[in-house]
Structure 1
Amino acid sequence: MDIRHAIHPEHAALLDTDELREHFLIEQLFSGDAPNLIYTFYDRLIIGGIKPSGPVECAVDSAVIGADYLLERREMGVINIGGPGSILVEGKKIAMADRDGLYIGKGNRTMVFASDDAANPARYYLLSAPAHNVYPTEKITFADAAPVEMGEMEKSNKRTIRKYIHPDGVKSCQLVMGMTTLEPGSVWNTMPPHSHQRRMEAYLYFNMKEEDFVFHFMGEADQTRHLVVREGQAVLSPSWSIHAGAGTGSYTFIWGMAGENQAFTDMDHIPMSEIR
């Protein structure tokens, strides 16, 4: 398991391109059959990717989390961004189509991820955060995630936000998770920008052509930096950092948050005049 330590904003401002990528970009999430898991010290979120050709059990080294199994004191959110598959949770099989989501509650010991067709494998993106309560495992289909339209074409940021795990829908202890799709011709996400002083966030960018990428902007408002992010790669966004992006073509991203609260509107908005 890869481990990412927390970085102070003053330290981040001194990093070069390779160092920024080392600390904040997750390049290989969906390589090989084994789960690719990254443990972060940002609210102790675990980020993972699984692209199974056969059944794959998701487990973790107990020495890292200090527990006998992954969800002994944790919860998990999963969204499939690949071919159809299924997740076996404590022996119960749950079908997972493209863009279906699943919340898996604290205390579930066994989780087995599979694809229906090895030639068209599922790609499971997962986030896991510490949990203090037990909420039931619940599936969220793409159709279940009610769309909310934001932005405008004149600003090149017209987009549709779908919430999968949130206080008014599928309940969790602290994990909030959803998906944003940009309209054709729009390139900007989360612009005007904001930060979350009380929560960290992670972004997974996907649904991009091979030649396209996203410039993901991060850093404090007066010390912005960028990462070049390609298909199926994820970015860690600390609570002190803005998080916005502009793509060379169309793209979709999954956002997930963990921290002090679950209020979607709890954002520290930053005036455009302060961005440098």
Structure 2
Amino acid sequence: MSHTHFHAIPTAPGHHVLQGASCRLLGFEKLVLLPGQAHSGQVAGDREQMLVVLSGTAEAVEVVGGPRFANVGGRANVFVGNPHSVYLPRGSRFTVTAGSRFEAVLVSAPSSLDTEAYEVRPEQVRTGTWGTLNYTRHFREILTQPDGRPASSLIVGETITPSGNWSTFPPHKHEREEGGEVFHEEMYYFRVASPEGFGLARHFSPEHGFDHTHTVRDDSLLSIPYGYHTYAAAPGAKSYYLWFLAGDGRRQGVALQPELAWTQKLVGMC
């Protein structure tokens, strides 16, 4: 099987599993259900999964032999509210029943942890702003240290990039244990607020010999096993991306592109 870094994600109703991504540790699935439809699944015995609702409401997310979470979701789209999510531990069997048209993603990573399923409600999501000027973007942390929630390797959050702004700048990478850098694979799943809008994602690695710039449309995904990465939203194209990582532990650490690291100090970025 050939592997690629950039993907268009299906939008039709159904259960769509990403194939051929270049990341080895991370998995991505998209679930689109019509009102009253149900989806049953099982998490692999060596993986954990986080269901993040994009839009609509699930009447219930039921875990066999575990808890039942009612009325999961509720936001109209990813731009108008915090996410409602459910953590599914390794080996768990579950059913999602849609109460309205329902969109969610299921992200997964390796796990050796035995724990109960739990929900992360919108009011439990930590929010804030990174950057300044046209580097400003807004974050929502779903599953990150040190929030105290049990997880084996998954790190999950969302970023809203305003129209015309840059995000995750200067470009950074996290592909080795060196200095403050920590190895993590990462994926970005994008949504764009305007149907004709777009953004540009640059993903490059002098060490691995590539420099790619991708045109980001609504429902696209960037797979980042290594390399520097950054994103810019075109004017009028307010953007969202779900970011999720797995690698060496859950403490994050990055290396900035050396030639542009000075820009972080210039604008006082976080």
TM-score (norm 1): 0.78
Aligned residue identity for 2:46: R
Matches within 5 A, 1:58-97: 58-59=40-41, 69-85=42-58, 86-90=60-64, 92-97=68-73
Matches within 5 A, 1:34-53: 34-38=15-19, 40=21, 42-53=23-34
Aligned to 1:243: 229
- Closer, same or farther in 2 for the Cα pair 1:150/1:41, shift >3 Å? closer
Matches within 5 A, 1:16-31: 23-31=4-12
Structure with the higher fraction of residues in strand conformation: 2
Superposed CA RMSD in Å reads 2.2
- Closer, same or farther in 2 for the Cα pair 1:270/1:41, shift >3 Å? closer
- How far the C-alpha of 1:40 sits from its partner, in A, is 4.3
What per-residue deviation string (whole Å, max 9, x for no partner) do you get for residues 65-85 of structure 1? Answer: xxxx53322100121111122
Checking the alignment, whether the CA contact within 8 Å between 1:192 and 1:271 is kept in structure 2 is: no
What per-residue deviation string (whole Å, max 9, x for no partner) do you get for residues 205-234 of structure 1? Answer: 114210001111101158531111211221
Aligned residue identity for 1:192: P
Aligned residue identity for 2:144: H
1:133 corresponds, among 113, 123, 140, to: 113
Checking the alignment, whether the CA contact within 8 Å between 2:18 and 2:29 is kept in structure 1 is: yes
**How far, CA to CA, are the matches of 2:155 and 2:29 in structure 1?**
16
1:211 corresponds, among 182, 193, 196, to: 196
- How far the C-alpha of 1:100 sits from its partner, in A, is 1.1
Aligned length: 237
Checking the alignment, whether the CA contact within 8 Å between 2:160 and 2:239 is kept in structure 1 is: yes
Unaligned runs of 5+ in 2: 76-82, 176-182, 262-270
- Closer, same or farther in 2 for the Cα pair 1:144/1:39, shift >3 Å? farther
Aligned to 2:180: none
**How far, CA to CA, are the matches of 2:130 and 2:32 in structure 1?**
32
- How far the C-alpha of 1:4 sits from its partner, in A, is 6.0
Checking the alignment, whether the CA contact within 8 Å between 2:161 and 2:233 is kept in structure 1 is: no
**How far, CA to CA, are the matches of 1:223 and 1:35 in structure 2?**
29
- Closer, same or farther in 2 for the Cα pair 1:137/1:4, shift >3 Å? farther
Structure with higher RCO (Cα < 8 A, 6+ apart): 2
2:85 corresponds, among 74, 89, 101, to: 101
1:268 corresponds, among 255, 260, 264, to: 255
Aligned to 1:13: none
Unaligned runs of 5+ in 1: 6-22, 60-68
